[in-house]
Amino acid sequence: MKKISGNKLLVKALREEQVDTIFGYPGACTIDISDELYKQDYTKVILPRQEVALVHEADAYARSTGKTGVCLVTSGPGATNLVTGLATAYYDSVPLVCFTGQVSRHLIGNDAFQEVDIIGITRSITKYGVTVRNREDLGRILKEAFYIARTGRPGPVLIDLPKDVMGELGSAEYPDEVNIRGYKPNTHVHVGQLKRAVKMLSKAKKPLFLAGGGINIAHANEEFTKLVDVTNVPVVTTVMGRGAVPTTHPLYIGNLGMHGAYACNMAVNECDLLFSIGTRFNDRITGKLHSFAPNAQIVHIDIDTAAISKNVQVDVPIVADAKEAVTKMLEYVTPFETGKWMDTIEDWKAEHPLKMKKKPIMTPQDVIEAINRIFDEAIIVTDVGQHQMFTAQFIEITEKKKLLMSGGLGTMGYGMPGAIGAKIGNPDTPVISISGDGGFQMNSQELATAVLEELPIISCIFNNNNLGMVRQWQKLFYGKRYSMTCLRSGAACRGKCGEVECPVYTPDFMKLADAYGAKGIHITKKEEIEPAFREAMKSTKTPYILEFDIDPEDLVYPMVKPGGTLEDLIMDC
Amino acid sequence: MNNNGMKKRWISLYVENQVGVLSKISGLFSGKSYNLDSLTVGTTEDPTVSRMTIATVSDDETFEQIKKQLNRLVEVIKVIDFTDVFVRMKEILYVKVRKCSKDDKVECFQIAETFKAKIIDYGKDSVLLEFVQTATKNDAVIKLMKEEFASIEVVRGGSVGIESISMMER
């Protein structure tokens, strides 16, 4: 067979793996790869404005399509800029393959220009990472990278490519199969354990499903909804699991955890069987650990052995893919009598319904409910903070809707790049991002990408002039000492807050939109919400910024005090 | 702390013999705040495979997590728990006794005889001893010799272990 360069083999691998889109930013160490990409037309190359946002775009592309997201960045700063995005993808189990350029082998270790040990830097936030040290290993490593990223519990894989290895001629062969002796992801369900779990379910008086992000990742929503329909067992979800069953389902109670609905946290507290699927019992979910679900036996289905009994000791562990497990369960389950238990839950719901205080002007709930009304089909991407929790509480996720967010790492700046990635992967679906004014500014340069790629995304900014979530903690637990959270503060008011006039807010988001060639609508009252969305959704090529004036005193309730127990909820001030 | 099973435990680990694997394993321990008491590594009969013997002080729950987390790593081929299995386990220890008087030297020879150590080098006023025994016994030797002599220098290798030949095979 004819020998080809490593660069050519990489481009061939992209085609073999059916990578239709990659997100790339060029540099000296990857210029030869860029050159090979120029010569082909199978893989579309997106050029974001910053690697930090680039990796979020690939991440959201992957989350929204189920395909593997692919990044290509250069060595040194290009590579280090991936760090936050890799960790974001790692904590939310997103399949990514990231290629980083590297200096030639003889320069590695010399502190060469744009040299960093990116494999060392990212060791604890990638599923797998390796520097290709020999040209003959390249084909195998590329094949393994895609396999590892998408199988088992998905995650980001980083492949570091020294420039000279990539330039070397070698075999043109791209392997068909992988065989990694240390990596055999579990696929089959242990039927015995599953039957045991189903039996416990049938005996329980107050059973409860806890659905995590694993259901969404495994695309098991349809099967899970069927399971809920058959068994009559009520459902709570984690924030990442929202949409596991349609949020309009009569047996769906809501999200649990730090900002979970009262009825959900009470249900977890009172249930006698917690049947959890695809969650790692993160501290934001459980509150104080030893008082989590104190009356319940716990069944836990997860693809990751290490997620089981990591935080919460479980009675029946089942290592399996959520979809396989749920499908198998459907063979064994029968309808259970849960009417009385549901009545109790309904009482809790009535006692403390999840809703914000109505205001004459506008609340985040008004905006999110407008989205619910207007869009039958949409991908909603959030940033991180109060707006994210408001969205998690109020957004309706039905069959044709998806919710994407940085749940595990809590990465501000995910929202708008996330919308870009989702829209590129789903050109026919409306894509809406919701950010705070803080998070939006972390990656606002991506407006250029959105404009040039002609992506009619709708970027909502909940502008309360503050870093609201931290401010909320300061208001509730730090004696209203608003340190470092006011986005209007600066030299003019330092040390004189309240005595002098506040500086003017910057940036002017409408001018920003204009500067990039996007469109902006500033919404100051309730009546303007719907018309703004109606206008924005008509756009076919131009991104829209919808800026909503939000009162910084609108806090996210209920709230479990950090480190508190789930039943110990702050309902309102 | 004893109530949740806090104790020293041993793991034998087969890993890919590749650049960066040692750092990945040790990084897992530091990153997740697991205790790493000792770690030894060397290649096996298969040059592409290395074997590690790891000692950790942990409680039952943490130890379960350690094994699971190790198993997750792509480069880890097999994790064997040496708790509750019969293993042969030894550690090499060198002790150099310096500034020896005549009496000190005599003492060194007595210690060597008692502990089945070897005197492997000998100078005007120093003696070098080699011990191959369990880590616990080495601990005891170090304690003893520290008390006995004015100046000692110690290096130890960390334990290596292998399962005993089972009754079935005998």
CATH number of domain containing B24: 3.30.70.260
Q: pLDDT of A467-502, one tens digit each?
A: 999 999 999 999 999 999 999 999 999 999 999 999
Q: Is A119 on the interface with B (CB under 8 A)?
A: yes
Name the 3-class secondary structure at A301.
Answer: strand
**Does the beta-carbon distance from B65 to A133 stay under 8 Å?**
no
User: What predicted TM-score, i.e. pTM, was given to this entire model?
Assistant: 0.94
Q: What is the pLDDT of residue A361?
A: 85
Domain's final residue, options B81, B106, B132: B81
User: Closest approach of chain B CAs to the CA of A137, in angstroms?
Assistant: 13
Q: pLDDT of A127-165, one tens digit each?
A: 999 999 999 999 999 999 999 999 999 999 999 999 999
In 3D, which of A423, A358, A418, A428 has the Cα closest to residue A388? A418
Quote the strand ranges of A60-120, DSSP E: 69-73, 96-102
Catalytic one of A51, A115, A144, A324:
A51
Are residues B42 and B103 both part of a single domain?
Answer: no
Q: Is the pLDDT at B168 greater than 90, yes or no? A: no
Reported as a pLDDT band with limits 50, 70 and 90, residue A570 is confident
In 3D, which of A553, A552, A547, A554 has the Cα closest to residue A525? A547
Eight-state DSSP code of residue A107? G
User: Closest approach of chain A CAs to the CA of B72, in angstroms?
Assistant: 8
Q: In this structure, are residues A142 and A113 in contact, taking their beta carbons and an 8 Å threshold?
A: no
Q: Is the pLDDT at A573 greater than 70, yes or no? A: no
Domain's final residue, options B31, B57, B81: B81
Are residues B62 and B115 both part of a single domain?
Answer: no
Average pLDDT over residues B3-30: 93
Domain that holds residue B65: 7-81
**Does the beta-carbon distance from A309 to B31 stay under 8 Å?**
no
Q: What is the pLDDT of residue B170?
A: 64
Are residues B49 and B71 both part of a single domain?
Answer: yes
Are residues B76 and B109 both part of a single domain?
Answer: no
Q: Is the pLDDT at A275 greater than 50, yes or no? A: yes
Name the maximum alpha-carbon separation found in chain B. 56
In a domain, B69, yes or no: yes
The phi and psi torsions of A508 (rounded to 5 degrees) equal: -80, 105
Average pLDDT over chain A reads 95
| Closest residue, chain B, to A313 (C-alpha) | B61
Q: pLDDT of B134-164, one tens digit each?
A: 999 999 999 999 999 999 999 999 999 999 9
Q: How far is CA B70 from the centre of its chain?
A: 19
Tokens matching residue A108: 């590695």
Q: What percent of chain B has pLDDT over 90?
A: 91
Are residues B74 and B93 both part of a single domain?
Answer: no
Name the more confident of A283 and A327: A327
Average pLDDT over residues A225-241: 97
Average pLDDT over residues A500-519: 97
Q: What is the pLDDT of residue A222?
A: 97
**Does the beta-carbon distance from A123 to B74 stay under 8 Å?**
no
In a domain, B150, yes or no: yes
Q: Is A501 a catalytic residue?
A: no
Q: What is the pLDDT of residue B3?
A: 57
Q: What is the pLDDT of residue B5?
A: 86
Mutation target to probe the B interface, by most B beta carbons within 10 A, among A108, A124, A125, A280 is: A124
User: Closest approach of chain B CAs to the CA of A222, in angstroms?
Assistant: 29
Q: Is A462 a catalytic residue?
A: no
Q: What angle do CA A539, A540, A541 make, to 5 degrees?
A: 100
What does the DSSP assignment read for A16-65? HTT--EEEE---GGGHHHHHHHHT-SSSEEE--S-HHHHHHHHHHHHHHH
**Does the beta-carbon distance from B71 to A148 stay under 8 Å?**
no
Q: Using a CB-CB distance cutoff of 8 angstroms, which residues of chain A are in contact with residue B18?
A: 130
Q: What angle do CA A367, A373, A377 make, to 5 degrees?
A: 105
In a domain, B14, yes or no: yes
Q: How many CB atoms sit inside 10 A of residue A246's CB?
A: 17
Choose the closest CB to B74 out of A120, A131, A182.
A182
Q: What is the pLDDT of residue B83?
A: 86
Average pLDDT over residues A54-58: 98
User: Which positions ≥6 away from B86 have C-beta within 8 Å?
Assistant: B163, B164, B166
Are residues B25 and B75 both part of a single domain?
Answer: yes
**Does the beta-carbon distance from A310 to B71 stay under 8 Å?**
no
Q: Is A51 a catalytic residue?
A: yes
Tokens matching residue A477: 């637990």
Are residues B93 and B27 both part of a single domain?
Answer: no
The phi and psi torsions of A293 (rounded to 5 degrees) equal: 40, 60
Q: pLDDT of B58-106, one tens digit each?
A: 999 999 999 999 999 999 999 999 988 899 999 999 999 999 999 999 9
Q: What is the pLDDT of residue A319?
A: 94
In a domain, B74, yes or no: yes
Residue B101 Rama label (left phi>0; alpha psi -120 to 50; beta): beta
Q: In this structure, are residues A216 and A92 in contact, taking their beta carbons and an 8 Å threshold?
A: no
The phi and psi torsions of A441 (rounded to 5 degrees) equal: -70, -15
Q: Is the pLDDT at B6 greater than 80, yes or no? A: yes
Q: pLDDT of A87-119, one tens digit each?
A: 999 999 999 999 999 999 999 999 999 999 999
User: Closest approach of chain B CAs to the CA of A124, in angstroms?
Assistant: 7
Burial class (CB in 10 A: 0-12, 13-18, 19+), A245: buried
Residues in chain A: 573
Q: What is the pLDDT of residue A514?
A: 98
Average pLDDT over residues A37-66: 98
Are residues B72 and B25 both part of a single domain?
Answer: yes
Are residues B43 and B72 both part of a single domain?
Answer: yes
**Does the beta-carbon distance from B69 to A313 stay under 8 Å?**
no
Q: Is A290 on the interface with B (CB under 8 A)?
A: no
Mutation target to probe the A interface, by most A beta carbons within 10 A, among B17, B72, B77, B78 is: B72
Are residues B75 and B94 both part of a single domain?
Answer: no
Q: Is A388 a catalytic residue?
A: no
Domain's final residue, options B81, B114, B136: B81
Q: Is the pLDDT at A403 greater than 80, yes or no? A: yes
Q: Is the pLDDT at A305 greater than 70, yes or no? A: yes
Average pLDDT over residues A425-453: 98
Burial class (CB in 10 A: 0-12, 13-18, 19+), B132: middle
Q: What is the pLDDT of residue B2?
A: 47
Total domains present in chain B:
2
Catalytic one of A3, A44, A113, A377:
A113
Are residues B54 and B20 both part of a single domain?
Answer: yes
Mutation target to probe the A interface, by most A beta carbons within 10 A, among B74, B77, B78, B80 is: B74
Q: Is A1 a catalytic residue?
A: no
In a domain, B2, yes or no: no
Reported as a pLDDT band with limits 50, 70 and 90, residue B1 is very low
Choose the closest CB to B75 out of A131, A182, A304.
A182
